[in-house]
């Protein structure tokens, strides 16, 4: 047991208590951030006249040595230490002697861990951002390539009106653009440095908190020391944004699973992104899409768990907050893994355009357009709806599509129909006539693609 405290205790900590309390098994994940924060702290301590330059340099050399040795595997982080902060400080003292004991001047583990977690989350937000951008680029490519790929659009999973694959993908494009903007917002809001808040009430040392914030690339210091050590709002916001990303990935996965099924055959997943069955030789399963859908629950769970952990905590720091780490780390790793795999999966899947188009041709996806035809010829919409309902019933009975009906058959139901009905309800017309902003028609979708092109060129 290696702890940073013990002076006021007369007994050793019970081993079970020690194990229960310790966080080294998971907070070692941010050893880099912990060392980075410590280097900034001593740099500030020296600039503020609290440490000499000589002391600062010795400490920074020691910390850099620890970082290099951990990275190279020469120094292994073990559970002999209570947490990552104790590990770094104890190793520093071993390495450089008593001067290492000055590292923690004007600092508490409360503001230290608040900083480490913020640095970690900030780094990871940027990683997730990169992955969302990769996905957005793949979606953009799919849109550009598929402005003329017709497919049925669905409501209630029933064929509704024809759209294009570009348009369908464009819906997800908008979702992931919003996800990206949420990440940017969270990053901006959280980007204030808590170091210097001390245990909860600041310190009596003349710390230059502006300098610490600057050294660590924050916009500035946080403004209330009690809030600084007990704020985990940004973790909750991140988990909420990540839950939304997972929700989007999960819906998309569900569609891919449906499209990849034998019944639909709209897409075929690449062999490299599919798995087989141990008993049924013919199977090629969309396991990746299913796992993404399944892992969504883990990320939602992290959000619910974090909200619950925080809800009853009096100010300022309480040990409950240690619970922020494992679930957050798991959620971050899950989201990163899912985004990367999902992007790989959709960029390698084959589109079966002929099947999509065939499917759009049947199922009466042009029924609305037949009704609109009648409206354009003076029939009130409600009556037109009724007439086309009769046409559909007739076609179901005769097992044909609206395009297969003869003009006589049309006229038997309504004399308003003329020869131009066929063109008015062709798949191409149904899509291409829809050119209002955000609609699937070529003209409309190309405008959106141009806007997206500009949006992407302005990213990072």
Nearer to ligand ARG, 83 or 372 (CB): 83
Query: Does 448 interact with ligand ARG (rule: CB under 6 A)?
Result: no
Question: Is 28 a residue that touches ligand ARG (CB under 6 A)?
Answer: no
Q: Indicate if 167 belongs to the active site.
A: no
Is residue 232 a contact point for ligand ARG (CB under 6 A)?
A: no
Among residues 312 and 378, whose Cβ is nearest to ligand ARG? 312
Encode burial over 310-322: b for 16+ CB neighbours within 10 A, e otherwise: beeeeebbeeebb
Q: Which is nearer to ligand ARG, 317 or 373 (CB)?
A: 317
Residue 3 lies near ligand ARG (rule: CB under 6 A): no
CB of residue 222 to ligand ARG, shortest distance in Å:
17
Q: Which of 197, 184, 185, 192 is nearest to 219 (CA)?
A: 192
Binding flag, residue 115, ligand ARG (CB under 6 A): no
- Using the rule CB under 6 A, is 13 a contact of ligand ARG? no
Residue 74: count of CB within 10 angstroms of its CB: 10
Which residue in 350, 349, 381 sits closest to 367, CA to CA? 381
Q: Which of 72, 156, 278, 457 is catalytic?
A: 156
| Omega within 30 of 0 (cis) for the link into 316 | yes
Q: Which of 321, 356, 384, 427 binds ligand ARG (CB under 6 A)?
A: 321
Q: Cβ 108 to ligand ARG, closest distance in Å?
A: 7
Q: Which of 43, 86, 110, 164 binds ligand ARG (CB under 6 A)?
A: 110
Q: Round to whole Å and give the CA distance between 131 and 138.
A: 11
Of the candidates 38, 167, 277, 359, the residue annotated as catalytic is 277
**Closer residue to ligand ARG, CB minimum distance, 316 or 388:** 316
Please say which residue, 83 or 369, places its beta carbon nearer to ligand ARG: 83
- Which positions from 290 through 319 interact with ligand ARG, judged by CB under 6 A? 317, 319
Cβ 295 to ligand ARG shortest distance, Å? 25
Stretch that binds ligand ARG, among 109-117, 262-270, 276-284, 336-344 (CB under 6 A): 109-117
Least distance in angstroms from the C-beta of 322 to ligand ARG: 4
Residues 6+ apart with CB under 8 A from 192: 213, 218, 219, 220, 221, 222, 223
Residues 29-88 that bind ligand ARG (CB under 6 A): 83
Nearer to ligand ARG (CB atom), residue 133 or residue 200: 200
Confirm or reject binding of residue 328 to ligand ARG (CB under 6 A): no
Closest approach, Cβ 331 to ligand ARG, in A, equals 16
Q: Is 228 in the site for ligand ARG (CB under 6 A)?
A: no
Is 156 catalytic? The answer is yes
Pick 140 or 325: Cβ nearer ligand ARG: 325
Closest CB 321 distance from ligand ARG, rounded Å: 5
Instruction: Rule CB under 6 A: say whether 109 interacts with ligand ARG.
Output: yes
Q: Smaller CB distance to ligand ARG: residue 90 or 379?
A: 90
Q: Are 250 and 296 in contact (CB under 8 A)?
A: yes
Does 230 engage in binding with ligand ARG (CB under 6 A)?
no
CB of 142 to ligand ARG, least distance (A): 43
Q: Tokens 């500030």 — which residue?
A: 44
Q: Which of 46, 96, 113, 335 binds ligand ARG (CB under 6 A)?
A: 113
Point out the residue whose Cβ comes nearest to ligand ARG. Answer: 322
In the complex, the residues that contact ligand ARG under the rule CB under 6 A are 23, 27, 83, 109-110, 113, 317, 319, 321-322
Which residues belong to the active site?
156, 277
């Amino acid at each position: 047991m290696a702890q940073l405290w013990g002076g006021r205790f007369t007994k050793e900590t019970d081993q079970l208590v020690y194990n229960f309390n310790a966080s080294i098994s998971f907070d070692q994940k941010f050893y880099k951030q912990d060392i980075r924060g410590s280097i900034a702290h001593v740099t500030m301590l020296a600039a503020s006249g609290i440490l000499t330059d000589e002391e600062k340099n010795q400490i920074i050399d020691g910390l850099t040595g620890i970082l290099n040795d951990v990275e190279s595997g020469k120094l292994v982080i073990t559970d002999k230490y209570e947490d990552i902060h104790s590990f770094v400080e104890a190793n520093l003292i071993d390495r450089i002697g008593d001067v290492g004991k000055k590292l923690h001047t004007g600092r508490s583990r409360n503001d230290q861990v608040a900083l480490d977690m913020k640095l970690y989350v900030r780094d990871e937000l940027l990683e997730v951002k990169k992955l969302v951008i990769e996905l957005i680029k793949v979606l953009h490519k799919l849109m550009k390539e598929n402005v003329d790929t017709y497919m049925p659009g669905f409501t209630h999973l029933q064929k509704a009106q024809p759209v294009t694959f570009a348009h369908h993908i464009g819906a997800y494009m908008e979702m992931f653009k919003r996800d990206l903007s949420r990440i940017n917002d969270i990053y901006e809001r959280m980007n204030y440095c808590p170091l210097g808040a001390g245990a909860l009430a600041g310190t009596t040392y003349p710390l230059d908190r502006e300098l610490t914030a600057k050294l660590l690339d924050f916009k500035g210091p946080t403004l209330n020391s009690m809030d600084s050590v007990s704020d985990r709002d940004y973790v909750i916001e991140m988990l909420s944004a990540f839950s939304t990303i997972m929700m989007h990935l999960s819906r998309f996965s569900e569609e891919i699973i449906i499209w990849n099924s034998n019944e639909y055959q709209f897409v075929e997943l690449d062999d490299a992104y599919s798995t087989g069955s141990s008993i049924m030789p013919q199977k090629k399963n969309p396991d990746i899409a299913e796992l993404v859908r399944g892992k969504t629950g883990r990320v939602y769970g992290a959000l619910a768990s974090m909200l619950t952990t925080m809800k009853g905590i009096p100010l300022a720091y309480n040990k409950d907050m240690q619970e922020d780490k494992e679930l957050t780390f798991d959620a971050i790793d899950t989201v990163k893994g899912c985004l990367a795999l999902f992007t790989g999966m959709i960029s390698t899947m084959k589109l079966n355009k002929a099947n999509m188009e065939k499917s759009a041709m049947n199922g009466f996806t042009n029924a609305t357009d037949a009704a609109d035809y009648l409206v354009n010829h003076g029939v009130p919409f409600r009556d037109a709806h009724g007439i086309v309902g009769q046409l559909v019933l007739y076609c179901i009975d005769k097992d044909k599509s609206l395009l297969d009906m003869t003009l006589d058959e049309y006229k038997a139901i309504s004399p308003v129909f003329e020869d131009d009905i066929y063109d008015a309800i062709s798949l191409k017309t149904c899509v291409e006539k829809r050119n209002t902003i955000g609609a699937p028609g070529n003209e409309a979708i190309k405008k959106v693609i141009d806007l997206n092109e500009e949006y992407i060129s302005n990213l990072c």
